[in-house]
């Protein structure tokens, strides 16, 4: 730690710890297909399945503040964060296995109850591990120039993940099993659990050197009370605006990656199921390069708020142009090199360029949120003297999940509104104008709304680059005064 109170992490520590978020995102992708399991194996209707998933997300949000409170109260010989990473990942692996391997074996009348109970416990594990991604940011590094580096690693990992999972599912598992069978869910679970477990072990090792009391806020234990939650949420303007910005984005991005939406866009509107994986593969590297620029330059040298605005404005423009492309050109001409490819055509090129730009811009605005949460936690230390990264991260997650929980419900209601009340659209569903309209709304429309909310929120977000430098200097002075006073 420098004399001015700045402490930094080694590059490999930042890169290794970023895998903690990737480990939980693997399960998020896996659970994107749970609606098909509910409809096909548990035997519930489309709207009910969507409602159940929404309620589980609400439960996820409700558990956040309590688990964040426990994290803030924890300071063991194994650190504040590492125990929750390990326990969380074990719970995720065990209960996701039980959900897709045991639920349908229960008596028909009790299947739904079994599913809900297993899912509720699964979510507790998910929250355990997720809260650490945000809470450990403050002890990892407090250097305003280094903190955005987490976003670069996290963005690259997520870009690879967004490219690999569609390829795995739409070009491997679905062709292999034909539909969403028991074997499909078993193989998907096995890959998810093994890779997520490996990533978690790496992340635990990476954070071990920084998960110590001297890197926690003012370098001393902080007394936390439950009523502090309300004080933080009501008085910390930075976290208020970040919640507005990120939660609306999360709702849109959760909906955009929903398996039903992906199938409607590529299988039904474009009549090319394989494109769901091919598009991600073609855009992965260019998207990562955009993230390098957006975070590596803008966030590090101009501040994280400006990086958020850069991603937001770019995302708005490309989403609007993408919708126009689907109506100006023929989306059924979407083709990539491989079987049936006859050459590059106008729609494929336009779609690919716009998709790449959209993912690049929204990747910046979406991924920069995690280190911005750490800024909000430091702002709280500066504002009230309380080091509450768990509280800060879970306050953020609580509202974020309540709003994003509507994603599956929105998709289900949209599908039900055009006649899909008992079954979901699948690869064999014929195209119609109504399906195309719903696909465009879920793919781009909600994201446009979320990005507009970003612009409004960032207008009132107080933590500029200059403000954060001032905050870190003030925290360092508080530490020095405490040390000199023998506190």
Q: What would the 3-class secondary structure string for 154-209 be? A: HHHHHHHHHHHHHHHHHHHHHHHHCCCCHHHHHHHHHHHHHHHHHHHHHHHHHHCC
DSSP 487: -
Is the distance from CB of 155 to CB of 178 less than 8 angstroms?
A: no
What pLDDT, on a 0 to 100 scale, did the predictor assign at position 406?
Answer: 72
Task: Work out the number of other CB atoms within 10 angstroms of the CB of residue 113.
Answer: 12
Contacts with 400 (C-beta within 8 Å, 6 or more apart), sequence order: 61, 243, 246, 247, 250
Q: Is the confidence at residue 159, as pLDDT, over 80?
A: no
What pLDDT, on a 0 to 100 scale, did the predictor assign at position 452?
Answer: 92
What pLDDT, on a 0 to 100 scale, did the predictor assign at position 329?
Answer: 93
Contacts with 399 (C-beta within 8 Å, 6 or more apart), sequence order: 61, 243, 247
Tell me the C-alpha distance between 91 and 200, whole Å.
13
In a domain, 26, yes or no: yes
Residue of higher predicted confidence among 68 and 401: 68
Is the distance from CB of 129 to CB of 84 less than 8 angstroms?
A: yes
Residues 313 and 336 in one domain: yes
343-367: pLDDT as tens digits: 788 999 999 999 988 888 887 887 7
439-476: pLDDT as tens digits: 999 999 988 988 998 899 998 998 888 888 788 777 77
Tokens of 226: 């439950």
Of 197, 221, 245, the position where a domain reaches its end is 221
In a domain, 1, yes or no: no
- Burial of 336 from C-beta contacts in 10 A (0-12 / 13-18 / 19+): middle
In a domain, 484, yes or no: no
In a domain, 301, yes or no: yes
Tell me the C-alpha distance between 82 and 203, whole Å.
9
Residue of higher predicted confidence among 314 and 412: 314
Question: Which residue from 92, 98, 96 is spatially nearest to 125, judged by alpha carbons?
Answer: 92
In a domain, 198, yes or no: yes
Residues 80 and 155 in one domain: yes
Tell me the C-alpha distance between 402 and 369, whole Å.
17
pTM, entire model:
0.68
The CATH number that applies at residue 344 is: 1.20.1250.20
In a domain, 234, yes or no: yes
Residues 145 and 275 in one domain: no
Residues 394 and 415 in one domain: yes
Q: Average the pLDDT over each of 222-226, 331-335, 340-344 and give the range with the smallest value.
A: 222-226
pLDDT confidence tier of residue 45, bands split at 50, 70 and 90: low
Please tell me whether residue 404 adopts helix, strand or coil conformation. Answer: helix
What pLDDT, on a 0 to 100 scale, did the predictor assign at position 218?
Answer: 54
Of 168, 200, 221, the position where a domain reaches its end is 221
Of 200, 221, 242, the position where a domain reaches its end is 221
Residues 103 and 250 in one domain: no
Element (H, E) at 133: helix 111-135
DSSP 329: S
Total tally of structural domains belonging to the chain = 2
Residues 237 and 193 in one domain: no
Question: Which residue from 81, 93, 124 is spatially nearest to 27, judged by alpha carbons?
Answer: 93
Tell me the C-alpha distance between 357 and 76, whole Å.
45
Residues 213 and 251 in one domain: no
Dihedral sign for Cα 268, 271, 273, 276, please.
Answer: negative
What pLDDT, on a 0 to 100 scale, did the predictor assign at position 469?
Answer: 79
Is the distance from CB of 49 to CB of 167 less than 8 angstroms?
A: no
Phi, psi dihedrals of residue 76, rounded to the nearest 5°: -95, 180
Residues 234 and 248 in one domain: yes
171-208: pLDDT as tens digits: 788 888 877 788 888 899 999 999 999 999 999 999 98
Residues 164 and 26 in one domain: yes
Residues 47 and 122 in one domain: yes
Percent of the chain residues past pLDDT 90, beyond the cut: 18
Residue of higher predicted confidence among 207 and 139: 207
Residues 74 and 131 in one domain: yes
Residues 293 and 420 in one domain: yes
Highest-pLDDT range among 104-108, 264-268, 285-289, 394-398: 264-268
- Look up the domain containing 440 and give its range: 225-479
- Region 321-325: what's the mean pLDDT? 95
In a domain, 2, yes or no: no
In a domain, 486, yes or no: no
Q: What is the DSSP string of 188-200?
A: HHHHHHHHHHHHH
Mean pLDDT of the chain: 81
């Amino acid at each position: 730690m420098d004399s001015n109170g700045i402490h930094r992490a080694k590059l490999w520590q930042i890169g290794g710890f970023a895998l903690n978020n990737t480990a939980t995102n693997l399960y998020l992708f896996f659970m994107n297909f749970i609606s098909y399991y509910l409809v096909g194996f548990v035997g519930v209707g489309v709207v009910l399945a969507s409602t159940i998933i929404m309620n589980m997300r609400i439960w996820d949000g409700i558990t956040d503040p309590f688990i964040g409170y426990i994290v803030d109260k924890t300071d063991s010989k194994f650190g504040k964060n590492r125990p929750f990473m390990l326990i969380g990942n074990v719970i995720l692996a065990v209960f996701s296995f039980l959900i897709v391997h045991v639920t349908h074996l229960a008596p028909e009348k009790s299947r739904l109850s079994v599913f809900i109970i297993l899912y509720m416990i699964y979510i507790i594990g998910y929250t355990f591990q997720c809260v650490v991604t945000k809470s450990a940011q403050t002890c990892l590094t407090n250097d305003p120039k280094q903190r955005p580096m987490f976003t670069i690693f996290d963005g690259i990992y997520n870009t690879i993940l967004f490219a690999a999972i569609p390829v795995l599912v739409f070009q491997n598992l679905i062709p292999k099993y034909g539909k969403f069978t028991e074997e499909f869910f078993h193989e998907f679970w096995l890959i998810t659990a093994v890779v997520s477990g490996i990533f978690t072990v790496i992340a635990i090792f990476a954070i071990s050197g920084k998960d110590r009391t001297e890197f926690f806020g003012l370098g001393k234990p902080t007394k936390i009370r439950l009523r502090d939650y309300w004080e933080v949420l009501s008085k910390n303007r930075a976290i208020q605006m970040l919640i507005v910005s990120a939660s609306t984005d999360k709702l849109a991005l959760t909906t955009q990656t929903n398996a039903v939406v992906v199938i409607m866009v590529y299988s039904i509107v474009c009549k090319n199921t394989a494109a769901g994986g091919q598009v991600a593969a073609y855009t992965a590297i260019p998207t990562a390069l955009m993230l390098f620029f957006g975070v590596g330059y803008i966030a590090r040298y101009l501040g994280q708020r400006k990086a958020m605005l850069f991603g937001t404005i770019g995302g708005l423009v490309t989403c609007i142009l993408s919708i126009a492309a689907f109506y100006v050109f023929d989306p059924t001409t979407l083709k990539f090199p491989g079987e049936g490819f006859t050459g590059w055509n106008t729609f494929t090129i336009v779609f690919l360029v716009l998709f790449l730009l959209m993912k690049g811009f929204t990747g910046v605005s979406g991924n920069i949120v995690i280190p911005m949460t750490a800024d909000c936690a430091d702002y709280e230390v500066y504002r009230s003297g309380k080091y509450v990264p768990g509280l800060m991260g879970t306050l953020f997650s609580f509202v974020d999940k309540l709003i994003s929980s509507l994603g599956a419900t929105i998709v289900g209601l949209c599908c039900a509104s055009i006649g899909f009340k008992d079954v979901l659209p699948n690869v064999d569903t014929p195209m119609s104008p109504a399906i195309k309209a719903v696909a465009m709304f879920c793919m781009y429309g909600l994201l446009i709304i979320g990005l507009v909310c970003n612009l409004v929120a960032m207008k009132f977000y107080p933590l500029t680059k200059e403000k954060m430098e001032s905050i870190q200097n003030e925290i360092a002075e508080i530490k020095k005064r405490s040390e000199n006073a023998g506190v």
